[in-house]
Amino acid sequence: MKAIKVSFTQLLVSVKRDAMLFVICFVPLLCGLTFKYFIPFVEKLLTEHFSTVSIISPYYMLFDILFSMITPAMFCFVASMIILEETDEHIAGYLYITPLKKGGYLFSRIGIPAITAFIITLILIPLFKLSNLSIFTIFLLATAGTIQGIIISMLIVSFSSNKLEGMAVAKLSFLMELGSLGPFFIDGKSQFLLSPLPSFWMSKAIVENNSLYFLFTFLISGFWILLITKRFMMKTEK
């Protein structure tokens, strides 16, 4: 545990040294303020201009779903950039053979940031939510969003050799969150084309007010994590 604590402290120092990664940690707060105040302001302007009851408000739940994934995605992205930097500098390989070992290294680099993101998400969603979400639903969204962040992080570190490649893979990885658009904008069975994406089932659960759909989110997320972890292990054994 002491080795994990030291390793995580080293991660924080690395983030503090990198201005871009440091700023990214505050993106969730900026997004929350934008969603909470700017979106309703735009809704008011549009409804007054077009003399209608609502335009954006039917999609407030979608903004809440997306927001639940933002903090984990940003924190895990930052962590993955540090992993790639340490891998490129051959630091990670040395840490694998210390008492920290590979499992402890991954926990300090992805696990702790993900847990931190989960806690922060639980705090931020009630502050910035646009729709009426129960405490239980917020907990499920925060859990599912955190798992999404882990998947994104593992995709980046498993399919990138350096930070530049990591940025490119990150852009593709964030597309996994677009599954949440399906239940809102696609009618009929064709929306299930997005069902391999965990975010689709998160959105499905909220739209249909059925928490059981979160079970599919967790099962599919587990499959993604197992698949990507296998790829990561193959990469680090080379």
Say what the pTM is.
0.92
Q: How far is CA 74 from CA 123, 153, 170, 226, in A?
A: 16, 9, 10, 22
Tell me how crowded residue 102 is: count the other CB atoms within 10 A of its CB.
16
Asked if 193 and 68 touch (Cβ cutoff 8 Å), the reply is: no
Which residue is associated with the tokens 């975010």? Answer: 199
Which residue is associated with the tokens 């193959």? Answer: 234
Taking only the tens place, the pLDDT of each residue in 47-95 is: 999 999 999 999 999 999 999 999 999 999 999 999 888 887 777 766 7
Q: Residue 238 pLDDT > 60, yes or no?
A: no
Band of the pLDDT at 231, cuts 50, 70, 90?
A: confident
Give the N- to C-terminal CA distance of the chain in Å, as an integer: 27
Taking only the tens place, the pLDDT of each residue in 182-206 is: 999 998 889 999 999 999 999 999 9
- For the chain, the maximum distance between any two Cα atoms, rounded to a whole number of angstroms, is 66
Taking only the tens place, the pLDDT of each residue in 168-178 is: 888 888 888 89
